[in-house]
Amino acid sequence: MRFRAFSASIVLFLLIYFSSLFVISTDILRGQLESGKQQALSAHYHIASSFGRDIAALSARPGGTPEAVQALLHQYGRNYLSGGTALDVYTNEGIIVQNIHGDAAFAALKPQAGQRDLRVEQIGGAHYARVSGEIPGSGRTYFLQILYDISPYIDVWRGTVTTSVVTGVFFCSALSVLFLLLLQWVFRPMRLVSAASRQIAGGMYERRIRVTGKGEHAEMAESFNRMADAVESSIAELAEHARRRQEFADNLAHELRTPMTSIYGYAQYLRAAHLGEEERIGHYQQATDLGATPDGRRAGEKIPANYSPSLFFKQKGPMSVIKSFTKPDLTKTINGGPLTLEFDQSVFRNEESIEKLGMLVKTFITLGGHQIQLNTVNREKLLDARKHPENYRNLIVRVWGWSGYFVELEECYQDHVISRIEFGL
């Protein structure tokens, strides 16, 4: 767009300038030719008048024969020729004095009485005014024709045109540079907006245009930045909405994998028992007074969730846990003895690990397991949620037979979830 505006403006300027130059130069040429013609007529009148007076004076003297007049005219012709003025003198019968030779050879022009004939001719690359007329006082016996050089007037016109063209080219070049700089300044905000738009389209939603000064450019930059803020806010809201929707779907799917009767029964029990919060978590607090247990738990350590291994017992991996878990006859266990295993988030990020996880679940069922709960956790994220709960209001974790918002859990529950072993595949 900038190039088109620049090109159109320069072409328009050149068209106007050289059109004006053509009109002006034509007027100047017309004036110079008119001046040259006037000088040629003045020279012819001066020479013809001088010839007429001398012819009249000589004719009035004794011995003023036609031969004497012709001799006088030849003498004048040589004098004027030596001075740079070529002329011809002729009568009705023929030429008397001929100093115009070559391409400008004699042309017997006989204008009417009291008139002169003037023609502009180009001879040998020069411009001349040919003036013909009667020599006054000769009774239309003698005629004078001069060839007056008007090339200096044409040269003045050419010099003026050349100077105007050179000046125009220089002025046009300087104006082009200035105009280009002006266009760059005018279109700079548009270039910034275009570049920022491409970056925002590429995902750099934080991109903004620096606002400087006042005026329309600053208003455009501020408007663009407000639009970018709205776009960034909308994208963030969409991303948060998508995250919450995915999180809800994951939690719902996880919940649906847990027997609803167990959740309902546990909730009814808590409701009917009228237990306080301290009583509900009392068995965890009392665990500090409980001695070591046969499952590998040491004295004072927290009790593991449901039928899962001790939190602090060294394990060889998920397959080892499954093999140990399924050794008893689980058909005699209420609800099949649920097993909760925690896996690092990286397990769910590639097809190979997911296939291995599927084989692990199949092995668990084959060995006699009834219910397995697979959870994905990130210890660093949980620790950060404890420090900055305002950033994790929607973080849901699996405790054992129920789930809850992590930041709303009692500290003992949070410690329990954080202390679980994260397996990898």
Q: What is the pLDDT of residue 363?
A: 92
Mention every residue, 6+ apart, whose C-beta is less than 8 A from residue 290: 299, 300, 303
| Same domain for 157 and 38 | yes
pLDDT band for 286, please (50, 70, 90 cuts): low
| Same domain for 75 and 154 | yes
Does residue 252 have a pLDDT over 70?
A: no
Question: Which residues is 125 bridged to in the sheet?
Answer: none
Tell me which residue range forms the domain holding 212: 207-256
Distance CA(393)–CA(13), nearest Å, equals 67
Q: What is the pLDDT of residue 104?
A: 52
Q: What is the pLDDT of residue 314?
A: 55
Terminal CA-CA length for the chain: 58
Distance CA(380)–CA(393), nearest Å, equals 16
| Same domain for 272 and 242 | no
User: Which helix (DSSP H) or strand (DSSP E) does residue 190 occupy?
Assistant: helix 151-201
Classify residue 197 by its DSSP letter.
Answer: H
As for how many domains the chain has, the answer is 3
User: Which helix (DSSP H) or strand (DSSP E) does residue 405 occupy?
Assistant: strand 403-405
Q: What is the pLDDT of residue 200?
A: 79
Based on its alpha-carbon atoms, the radius of gyration of the chain, rounded to whole angstroms, reads 58
Tell me, yes or no, whether 347 lies in a domain: yes
| Same domain for 347 and 226 | no
- pLDDT-wise least confident of 15-24, 335-344, 362-371: 335-344
| Same domain for 332 and 312 | yes
- Determine the average pLDDT of the residues in 122-127: 83
Does residue 270 have a pLDDT over 70?
A: no
- Determine the average pLDDT of the residues in 381-396: 90
Tell me, yes or no, whether 361 lies in a domain: yes
Mention every residue, 6+ apart, whose C-beta is less than 8 A from residue 278: 285
Average pLDDT, the chain: 77
Tell me, yes or no, whether 143 lies in a domain: yes
Tell me, yes or no, whether 189 lies in a domain: no
Report the percent of the chain where pLDDT is more than 70: 77
| Same domain for 13 and 46 | yes
Answer whether 149's CB lies under 8 Å from 128's CB: yes
